[in-house]
Amino acid sequence: MNIAFFVLAGLGLLAGIVGAVGGAKPVSAADREAVHQLFLRIQQEFAGLSTSLREEVDDHNTYLVLEFPEQQGVRFPILLSFFDDSLLMQGGGHPPKDDYFAWEVFPCTRPEVRERFAEQVRGILSGDLRVMVEFVKHKRRTAVIQHATETGWEPVVHFAERPESEVRILQNR
């Protein structure tokens, strides 16, 4: 199985892997359309929010981007992007902003990977999920997506705890 779930902060890899990691591969027109439809559904589900859905092209690549700028109901900007077989959610600003986080999933050719990504995005946008950005000695160490339980907040993806850390919470509500 070639599924990986990452949380990145800045340039360093800061999360666990589920399954084996493989390189990005080009996707079929049908998979590209499935991701486009996914972004349209997310945009429609949050129709009350200001968004921008666009294609961006650089020297050799085309990216599909759905952006939610900071606004009433969204306390930090969120940018979703699609390239090759990866879906990426970035939030909290742009690097090197302290509260920046990013989360990548692949291969998006698998419907269950796309749906898990969509569930996390919906949770972050609605405020049902939050992002815990962890610092050690004023340097960002990791970002963890969490969900509420009866006893507090639990990680959606488990990460090792780091001693002597400062924690900042990003949540929409």
Domain count for the chain, please give it: 1
- Confirm if 52 and 39 have CB atoms less than 8 A apart: no
- Residues with Cβ within 8 Å of residue 25, at least 6 apart in sequence: 84, 85, 107, 109
Share of the chain above pLDDT 70, in %: 73
Q: What is the mean pLDDT of residues 98-115?
A: 85
Task: Tell me whether residue 14 is in a domain.
Answer: yes
Higher per-residue pLDDT: 141 or 36: 36
pTM for the structure as a whole? 0.76
Share of the chain above pLDDT 90, in %: 45
Higher per-residue pLDDT: 5 or 56: 56
Task: Tell me whether residue 137 is in a domain.
Answer: no
CA distance 160 to 163: 10
Task: Give the model's pLDDT for residue 115.
Answer: 94
- Written as one letter, the residue type at 72 is Q
Residue 122 β-bridge partners: none
Task: Tell me whether residue 117 is in a domain.
Answer: yes
Task: Tell me whether residue 53 is in a domain.
Answer: yes
Task: Tell me whether residue 120 is in a domain.
Answer: yes
Q: What is the mean pLDDT of residues 132-144?
A: 76
Give the phi and the psi of residue 121 in degrees, each rounded to 5.
-60, -45
Task: Tell me whether residue 164 is in a domain.
Answer: no
Q: What is the mean pLDDT of residues 138-161?
A: 77
Domain carrying residue 54: 4-127
Task: Tell me whether residue 132 is in a domain.
Answer: no
DSSP-assigned letters across all residues of 90-126: EESSSTTSTT-EEEEEE-TTSHHHHHHHHHHHHHHHH
Q: What is the mean pLDDT of residues 44-61?
A: 91
Ramachandran region of residue 94, left (φ > 0), alpha (ψ -120 to 50) or beta? beta
Instruction: Please determine, for residue 132, whether its predicted confidence score (pLDDT) is greater than 90.
Output: no
Task: Tell me whether residue 141 is in a domain.
Answer: no
Instruction: Please determine, for residue 67, whether its predicted confidence score (pLDDT) is greater than 90.
Output: yes
Ramachandran region of residue 19, left (φ > 0), alpha (ψ -120 to 50) or beta? left
Length of the chain: 173
Instruction: Please determine, for residue 7, whether its predicted confidence score (pLDDT) is greater than 70.
Output: no
Q: What is the mean pLDDT of the chain?
A: 78
DSSP annotation of 14:
-
